[in-house]
């Protein structure tokens, strides 16, 4: 009955561009930091579209907005959605695509005069980016229940104001209880934010899970000395072990190709002079892996390497954990179904992990969840130049449509 | 006839402390940047001691001061000396020891009523440190002739004033022609400024030469990407090759132990964020070697390594030379003689290179020259905590005394 149904690409792309005009940056891209007046203007536009589609709109205590379309049956809706807040200098697709594709699914069903068995819901969650208030995925964390509402409201942001104050200021602290409605299943369509799909020439990424994250900072203390008068054998060069670690973590990833990621992104040497042996090196290591045990083993391997190298060079080592997030695995049933739908619709597809965090990984704690990725041109993300082609948007939205329809059908 | 002659350690150490009171820093150490009022006060003290010893004092156009003691014969003097300017926050020994030990040699001969065959001269050269005006060793370079006087006088310093202005302001632009008197031979006593003698438990360093220096800066350009969404195989990580280079240069030195030095002292990553792959890495490599061909081969090996590694990672490489100084080799005859004298006086001694620049290496271009090192406690240099024991000062000054006497004797 649903087989030939397809979304309206023009309508979807037009809405993406309309929403992108709100908080638009002069040179392209958009800036709608969470809970700012620009975010409010974006919310008002999306809520207007929701109401125009005769959806029942609720806003909860953290500003999450849920729009529900009745089904033939009562009970938990099948939900889709994402977020509409952006980083300070973001693109038009990150988050927005998932929300507007959800509305496009509703509009497609309306056009066809179809009603699903289960209700359908389209949600956008507050402050997914975390660019103004930490943590990111705040709205979905409150919705799912692991972040208490009061704690979230008291969060102080980069401009020293709280989430609660800002929600009140923009009138988006709603009366709906957080976490309602309970969700039957959740699917999020999102741009990849990485280069994999484009490089592989594949249209649909079937996201199996979200990588776990391990962030550690290391500080090595040696002795500053003259680069000309200090023999190599008498050095305690803090920079040496930093360099060796940068080389080591790349070798570590080569042992687990495609699975283990490692990045040394931030380094500082003191005194940082051309002819002085560094007395102090500070640097970070960012490790990611879809498998928890492998991730924590990699963390230990890095610590062991640095400890041994520091000892060999006569350096003092201190280090600390900055973040430890276990990997998330999406529902195998949903992953299988997304793959099946992509195939039926004739789109090339590949299973892949998500390297970034998403609301879907939070929802995965309270319901079967999954994600669909579409290609990001050049892998560019969190940047005004972020772009996904209309063809890929259409493909992703059709996979979303038919996946939601299957989940909303009671056999 | 000279065999039992010894310098007066108390008198020498007292003068080091007296001179150290001029421009003294509150917590210890001394600040007499070249051609400042503090430098003038130091000059006046040393010139007063020279005059009190009945030496003929001349000041040349760049402010070099030469004090000559007549010999039995006319002709070129045997010269010793060093400098009395300091870095902004320096110690009492660097430079000052060599000048005051020269005056102590004169005083010792005066006490004994001895006259040498050749004249003896004690000099201090202007702006050896280069901490206010580049290049360092400016006074000796003008004296030796490779830096034209007019160019030196026009040099603009860190406070935007010229060498000439400052020489005039402190009244130290003298009438003597630069480069006179021509010198028969030159010996400089200096603190080591490194840890080698102390670690080896040796009193006298017989300096064979001064290391050549090669400074290069490298800039690698890659692509910034998300540390979570970019597979290792798709990265262009500028920081990676920086780290690999730090590890590589240490391995390079291990192939030529004790001869090749290499330091990566200064590094910068952009954007330098924990979860972003670095798009740009800038870093310096400082190479030193006593052998010119080996030094330039090491430079080429570093460039080749970086070029190859950059290509493998898909990075753009630019690099430039910041300094290239050929190694200096001191007169083998003088090196042999210093070693002989140290042995006769019963001091442990070792041949070694100098890792820092000194006036003696400039004088080596126009006469046979050599240097004597005494231990720096903890290898500390250019620091108020710079220290050399009285025992070692005495030993070094006695080696200087007998080396000068031998050079001043006509067989």
At residue B64, the pLDDT reads 98
| For residue A92, pLDDT beyond 60 | yes
pLDDT tens for residues B383-392?
A: 999 999 999 9
What does the alpha-carbon distance between residue A249 and residue B277 come to, in Å, rounded to a whole number? Answer: 13
* For range A348-374, the mean pLDDT: 96
At residue A2, the pLDDT reads 73
At residue B257, the pLDDT reads 83
What does the alpha-carbon distance between residue B208 and residue B370 come to, in Å, rounded to a whole number? Answer: 7
Q: Tell which wins on pLDDT, B258 or A46.
A: A46
How many other C-beta atoms lie within 10 A of the C-beta of residue A139? 28
| For residue A37, pLDDT beyond 80 | yes
Which residues 6+ apart lie within 8 Å of B197 measured at CB? B203, B204, B205, B350, B352, B373, B374, B375, B376
In angstroms, the Cα distances linking B387 to B12, B104, B300, B355 are: 15, 19, 38, 18
Give chain A positions within 8 Å (CB) of B310: none
- CA-closest candidate to residue A362, choices A181, A141, A214, A158: A141
Percent of chain A topping pLDDT 90: 95
Quote the minimal CA–CA distance from B270 to chain A in Å.
8
Could you identify the residue written with the tokens 């002069």? A26
What does the alpha-carbon distance between residue B383 and residue B158 come to, in Å, rounded to a whole number? Answer: 20
- CA-closest candidate to residue A207, choices A362, A328, A343, A84: A328
Give chain A positions within 8 Å (CB) of B267: 239, 267, 269, 272
Sign of the Cα pseudo-torsion (A381, A383, A389, A390, in order): positive
- CA-closest candidate to residue B245, choices B232, B230, B262, B228: B262
Contact criterion met (CB below 8 Å) for B141 and B63: no
- CA-closest candidate to residue A374, choices A357, A390, A358: A390
What does the alpha-carbon distance between residue A110 and residue B76 come to, in Å, rounded to a whole number? Answer: 107
Contact B194 A253 (CB under 8 A): no
How many other C-beta atoms lie within 10 A of the C-beta of residue B394? 22
Quote the minimal CA–CA distance from A258 to chain B in Å.
6
Total-model pTM? 0.87
Contact criterion met (CB below 8 Å) for B66 and B123: yes
**Closest residue to B228, CB basis, from A211, A233, A284:** A211
Sign of the Cα pseudo-torsion (A400, A401, A403, A409, in order): positive
At residue B1, the pLDDT reads 53
Contact A288 B234 (CB under 8 A): no
pLDDT band at A1 (very low <50, low <70, confident <90, very high): low
What are the two backbone dihedrals, phi and then psi, of residue A262, each rounded to the nearest 5 degrees? -150, 135
Contact criterion met (CB below 8 Å) for A366 and A353: no
For B304, the token pair is 């080749």
pLDDT tens for residues B26-68?
A: 999 999 999 999 999 999 999 999 999 999 999 999 999 999 9
So what's the ipTM on this one?
Answer: 0.87
- CA-closest candidate to residue A189, choices A298, A81, A37: A81
* Average pLDDT score over chain B: 96
How many other C-beta atoms lie within 10 A of the C-beta of residue B257? 10
Contact criterion met (CB below 8 Å) for B4 and B10: no
What are the beta bridge partners of residue A162?
A156
What does the alpha-carbon distance between residue A355 and residue B124 come to, in Å, rounded to a whole number? Answer: 65
Contact B232 A258 (CB under 8 A): yes
At residue A28, the pLDDT reads 94
Contact B232 A195 (CB under 8 A): no
Give chain A positions within 8 Å (CB) of B263: 227, 237, 275-277
Which residues 6+ apart lie within 8 Å of B166 measured at CB? B34, B35, B36, B157
| For residue A99, pLDDT beyond 90 | yes
At residue B156, the pLDDT reads 96
Contact B228 A356 (CB under 8 A): yes
* For range A157-167, the mean pLDDT: 96
Give chain B positions within 8 Å (CB) of A250: 232, 237, 240, 243-244
Contact criterion met (CB below 8 Å) for B200 and B350: yes
At residue B3, the pLDDT reads 83
What does the alpha-carbon distance between residue A394 and residue A346 come to, in Å, rounded to a whole number? Answer: 13
At residue B411, the pLDDT reads 83
At residue B2, the pLDDT reads 74
Contact A199 B234 (CB under 8 A): yes
At residue A298, the pLDDT reads 97
Question: If you count them, how many residues does chain A have?
Answer: 411
Contact B227 A194 (CB under 8 A): no
Q: Largest Cα–Cα distance of chain B, in whole Å?
A: 84
How many other C-beta atoms lie within 10 A of the C-beta of residue B225? 26
Q: Which residues of A11-47 are buried (b: 16+ CB within 10 A; e: fewer)?
A: ebbebbeebbebbbeeeebbbbbbbbebbbebbebbb
Cβ burial of B267 (10 Å; 0-12, 13-18, 19+) is buried
What are the beta bridge partners of residue A372?
A189, A206
What are the beta bridge partners of residue A17?
none
In this structure, the strands spanning A120-124 and A204-210 are unpaired
Q: What angle do CA A374, A377, A380 make, to 5 degrees?
A: 100
Cis peptide bond upstream of B181, omega within 30: yes
What are the beta bridge partners of residue B65?
B59, B124
Q: What angle do CA B261, A226, B35 make, to 5 degrees?
A: 130
Quote the minimal CA–CA distance from B309 to chain A in Å.
11
- CA-closest candidate to residue B204, choices B219, B189, B215: B189
Q: What is the pLDDT along chain B (411 residues), one digit of tens a residue?
A: 578 999 999 999 999 999 999 999 999 999 999 999 999 999 999 999 999 999 999 999 999 999 999 999 999 999 999 999 999 999 999 999 999 999 999 999 999 999 999 999 999 999 999 999 989 999 999 999 999 999 999 999 999 999 999 999 999 999 999 999 999 999 999 999 999 999 999 999 999 999 999 999 999 999 998 999 999 999 999 999 999 999 999 999 999 887 899 999 999 999 998 989 999 999 999 999 999 999 999 999 999 999 999 999 999 999 999 888 899 999 999 999 999 999 999 999 999 999 999 999 999 999 999 999 999 999 999 999 999 999 999 999 999 999 999 999 998
What does the alpha-carbon distance between residue A286 and residue B406 come to, in Å, rounded to a whole number? Answer: 65
**Closest residue to B243, CB basis, from A233, A254, A264:** A264
**3-state secondary structure (DSSP) of residue B187:** strand
**Residue A189's Cα: distance from chain center in Å?**
11
What does the alpha-carbon distance between residue A207 and residue A369 come to, in Å, rounded to a whole number? Answer: 10
Q: Tell which wins on pLDDT, B383 or A375.
A: A375
What are the two backbone dihedrals, phi and then psi, of residue A171, each rounded to the nearest 5 degrees? 65, 35
| Region of residue A379 (phi > 0: left; psi between -120 and 50: alpha; otherwise: beta) | left
What does the alpha-carbon distance between residue A43 and residue A137 come to, in Å, rounded to a whole number? Answer: 17
Which residues 6+ apart lie within 8 Å of A154 measured at CB? A162, A163, A164
């Amino acid at each position: 009955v649903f087989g030939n149904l397809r979304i309206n690409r023009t309508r979807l792309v037009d809405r993406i561009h309309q929403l992108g005009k709100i908080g638009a940056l002069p040179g392209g891209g958009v800036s709608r930091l969470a809970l700012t007046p620009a975010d409010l203007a974006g919310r008002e536009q999306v809520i207007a579209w929701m109401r125009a589609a005769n959806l029942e709109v609720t806003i909860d205590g953290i500003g999450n907005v849920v729009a529900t379309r009745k089904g033939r049956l009562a009970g938990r809706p099948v939900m889709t959605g994402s977020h509409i807040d952006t980083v300070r200098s973001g693109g038009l697709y990150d988050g927005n695509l998932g929300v507007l594709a959800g509305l496009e699914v509703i509009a497609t069903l309306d056009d066809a005069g179809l009603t699903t068995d289960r209700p359908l819901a389209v949600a956008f969650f507050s402050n997914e980016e975390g660019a103004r208030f930490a943590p990111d995925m705040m709205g979905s964390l409150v919705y799912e229940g692991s972040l208490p509402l009061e704690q979230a409201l008291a969060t102080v942001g980069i401009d020293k104001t709280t989430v609660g104050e800002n929600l009140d200021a923009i009138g988006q602290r709603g009366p709906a209880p957080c976490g309602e409605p309970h969700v039957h299943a959740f699917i999020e369509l999102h741009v990849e934010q990485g280069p994999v799909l484009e490089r592989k020439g594949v249209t649909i990424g079937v996201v199996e899970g979200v990588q776990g994250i391990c962030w550690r900072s290391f500080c090595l203390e040696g002795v500053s000395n003259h680069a000309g008068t200090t023999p190599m054998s008498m050095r305690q060069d803090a920079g040496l072990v930093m360099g060796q670690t940068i080389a080591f973590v790349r070798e570590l990833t080569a042992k687990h190709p495609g699975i283990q990621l490692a990045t040394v992104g931030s380094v500082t040497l003191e005194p940082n002079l051309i002819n002085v042996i560094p007395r102090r090196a500070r640097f970070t290591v960012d490790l990611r892996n879809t498998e928890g045990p492998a991730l924590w083993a990699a963390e230990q391997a890095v610590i062991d390497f640095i400890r041994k190298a520091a000892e060999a060079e006569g350096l003092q080592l201190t280090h600390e954990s900055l973040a430890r997030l276990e990997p998330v695995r999406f529902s195998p049933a949903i992953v299988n179904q997304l793959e099946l739908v992509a195939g039926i619709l004739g789109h090339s597809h590949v299973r892949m992990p998500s390297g970034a965090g998403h609301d879907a990984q939070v929802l995965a704690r309270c319901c079967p969840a999954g994600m669909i990725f579409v290609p990001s041109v050049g892998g560019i993300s969190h940047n005004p130049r972020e772009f996904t082609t209309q063809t890929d948007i259409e493909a992703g939205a059709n996979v979303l449509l038919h996946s939601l329809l299957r989940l909303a059908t009671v056999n």
